[in-house]
Amino acid sequence: MKGALVMGQPQNFLKALTLIFFSSFLTVVSAQEPGRGETVTDRPRPEIDARGIRLGAFETFPAISIGLMQDDNIFANNDFKVDDWITVVRPEITLVGDWSRAELELGAELEAGRYDDVDTEDYEDWRIWGDLGMELGRGRLSGELQYADLHEDRAAVDDRRGIKPTEYSTGLLSLGYRNTYGRLSLRADARQRRYDFDDTVTLDGPENNDDRDRIRSDLQVRMGYNWTPNLQPFIRIGLTDVDYDQKFDNDGFERSSTGYDIVGGTEIDLAGQTFGEVFVGYINRDYDDPRYLAINGPVFGAELTWNISGLTTMQFAASRLIKGTTIIGAAGITDTTVGLEIDHELLRNLILSFDISLSNDDFEGIDRSDDIFRTQLEGIYMMNRYLQFRLGFSIYNRDTSPQNPGGRY
């Protein structure tokens, strides 16, 4: 069993972290260097890692986490701030089968949130999935099948301000293949995701969300070259198709689109202690509606991990991409994000994690730009193989220019 406690009161949180920090000096820490490509959070800990329960050809890993969180603005509306406490319970079960040339993972999870005062915000999300990996000749074939019934966060750009959160279902099917030919490597990945939004009821009456239902299909082909043990340059070509069920949305716009991106970059691996990849390139998105101009321009991405020591890992991420939206008049959003995360092992079973990110959402076609700031400080205490506690404090802020009508953020 895993437990999680997330607190939103900064005074209590800082007191707890102070006790945790100073108590760490009372115990001698035996630092174990992370293995190649590992971090301090995901490296094996045989003395406390969960043990599976054998069930025929599978190992079964049941878990449950319980969280308590305080939110001072549950509707993400600065003109109507309401605070509340939320209790979150998440049971899950995973079945893992590992054979000589194939692996199969099946899983299911439920997340239920209960608000102390505003029970209209209560939710139940659930997800089921299956992942398959198998050797196919000299190559490797992978696949994923997933279905989920979720709710939309109140801070989402496209949230339609219903009396209750908007519910939606999503399904995912993906297939991938990779192979190597001497120093050359080849990867091909195909993904299709379906979104189906339920109708909502607002203070002004029913709101039809059928115009948000869509299917997104992606195909990527990546060719790499093992130049040195430290650098593996690659070229990646991607195609994207977004097909909305309704030809026109509720405001009379055609939002279906097609696009492509071409990028070049390299994987980096410096003795397994600094690793990741960086890339730059060009992206283009064309819309069916002639009133929308094509969105195009530079695209980039980076995911780099540095194990500073046997106890500390730093992770840097940056990206520029195009997101969809149903904001009236906006063709899409060009999102640019930079983030940093630092994980430090205070004790063998106690990790302190800090992450911060800055984003800019530029709405194409209308005069709107959002700056988003996120930060979180969290302590993770792994009591034993079955019990884990989390104590955290997070901040989220969105500034819209010019001010978004209705004071939504």
Q: Lowest-pLDDT range, 11-20, 293-302, 320-329?
A: 11-20
Instruction: Give yes or no for a contact between 10 and 393, defined as CB atoms under 8 angstroms apart.
Output: yes
- Interatomic CA distance for residues 7 and 83, integer angstroms: 13
pLDDT single digits (tens) 6-48: 333 444 444 444 444 444 433 334 445 666 678 888 888 877 7
pLDDT at 17: 43
Task: Pick the closest to residue 336 from 327, 323, 346 (CA basis).
Answer: 323
Strand boundaries in 51-101, DSSP class E: 53-55, 58-71, 84-98
Q: Which domains does the chain have, with CATH numbers?
A: 10-28+145-401 (2.40.170.20)
Instruction: Give yes or no for a contact between 16 and 346, defined as CB atoms under 8 angstroms apart.
Output: no
Q: Lowest-pLDDT range, 17-31, 61-75, 161-175, 230-244?
A: 17-31
Q: What tokens does 143 get?
A: 């696949």
Q: What tokens does 58 get?
A: 């599978």
Count of H helices and E strands in the chain? 1, 20
pLDDT at 12: 47
- Provide the pLDDT confidence category of residue 404 given band limits of 50, 70 and 90: low
Instruction: Give yes or no for a contact between 18 and 10, defined as CB atoms under 8 angstroms apart.
Output: no
DSSP state of 12: H
- Provide the pLDDT confidence category of residue 181 given band limits of 50, 70 and 90: very high
- Interatomic CA distance for residues 20 and 391, integer angstroms: 11
- Range 300-311 average pLDDT: 93
Higher pLDDT, 160 or 200: 200
Side chain identity at residue 113, one-letter code: G
Side chain identity at residue 13, one-letter code: F
- Interatomic CA distance for residues 384 and 387, integer angstroms: 5
How far is the CA of 275 from the CAs of 147, 174, 178, 265, 302, in angstroms? 32, 26, 20, 14, 11
Cα–Cα–Cα angle for 116, 152, 261, nearest 5°? 150
pLDDT at 249: 87
